[in-house]
Amino acid sequence: MVTKVNPQLILNENLPGIDSVNKIDDEFWENRYEQINNFEKHLCQNGTHILKFFLHVSKDEQKKRLLSRLDNPDKNWKFNNADLEARAQWDEYQKAYAEMLENTSKEYAPWYVIPADKKFFARVAVGNIILEKLQSLNLRYPSGESNKILTQAREQLIEE
């Protein structure tokens, strides 16, 4: 999303046909979203389950967390001036996030928007979604029949 808000950074990627910010238009982003969707669809068609989590922190909570990083010497390492630059572009980032979520949340690769001002709640919400997905997979330990097959295969190999 940084490049969506600051398209000049894309020029450093040396993408074919992109040599000026003017070429980073709506069509460029539509193509990028399509590429993301195609890649995720390919993964799903080959047995990968995708869950995407967008941890949404409010502007007030972000401010509290940034101040905490500044006020607590043990958290100073977490602070970066780029955080303030990004914060100054809050509205642009919110618009970019909304567009990204709208264009890349698919049935085969859904986005889950999680309110994350309260870390405990966010962790429980994400954990519940993961648990629900794991339960839907109907995973089981190998059955007695599997053990029988394994035993027979072992005996066959030993007899060679």
The rounded distance, in Å, linking the Cα atoms of 45 and 68 is 44
The rounded distance, in Å, linking the Cα atoms of 44 and 48 is 5
More confident residue, 74 or 142: 74
Per DSSP, the three-state class of 88 is: coil
When pLDDT is cut at 50, 70 and 90, the band that residue 21 belongs to is confident
What is the average pLDDT value for the chain, to the nearest integer?
A: 94
pLDDT greater than 90 at residue 141: no
Q: What is the pTM of this model?
A: 0.82
DSSP3 helix / strand / coil % (the chain, rounded to 5): 70, 10, 25
Question: For residue 8, what are its two tokens?
Answer: 């000049």
Tell me how far apart the 2 most distant CA atoms of the chain are, in Å: 72
The rounded distance, in Å, linking the Cα atoms of 106 and 89 is 27
The rounded distance, in Å, linking the Cα atoms of 146 and 144 is 5
Q: Give me the phi and psi of 20, to 5 degrees please.
A: -155, 155
Question: For residue 82, what are its two tokens?
Answer: 């780029």
Residues in the chain: 160
